[in-house]
Amino acid sequence: MVKCFVVGCSMGYKSAKENDAKVFKPPKEERQFILWGKKLKRSDKKFSRKDHVCSRHFKEEFIIKNSVNGGAPLSRWKLRDDAIPTLFLGKF
């Protein structure tokens, strides 16, 4: 299972009580990727394109859960292009 990059986040670990969060790959756009890296700064590991961040670290307004115009729920959630992880960064 894919694990969340954020320090202290239990998403992806078998012992986690709440594994209902979805994970997202880093953005492809270089500028946005750099912004994520700055927000997710860790002393033990550098953020890379292979890492993932779970939905717990994004404001609801950045997560797209339904198809266009509030249609059917998406099986795979998406992030808006301007999404940046800002919630619970290293405070678990």
Q: What is the pLDDT of residues 12-49, one digit of tens each?
A: 776 545 557 899 999 999 999 999 999 999 999 999 99
Is 18 buried (19+), middle (13-18) or exposed (0-12) by CB count in 10 A?
exposed
Q: Report the helix count and the strand count for the chain, using DSSP H and E.
A: 1, 4
Asked whether residue 16 is assigned to any structural domain, the reply reads no
Asked whether residue 50 is assigned to any structural domain, the reply reads yes
Q: What's the structural domain count of the chain?
A: 1
CA distance 36 to 81: 12
Asked whether residue 87 is assigned to any structural domain, the reply reads no
Task: Give the residue numbers spanning the domain of 42.
Answer: 23-79
Asked whether residue 15 is assigned to any structural domain, the reply reads no
Asked whether residue 44 is assigned to any structural domain, the reply reads yes
Asked whether residue 47 is assigned to any structural domain, the reply reads yes
The pLDDT-based confidence of 92 (bands split at 50, 70, 90) is very low
> Would the pLDDT of 68 be above 60?
yes
Asked whether residue 53 is assigned to any structural domain, the reply reads yes
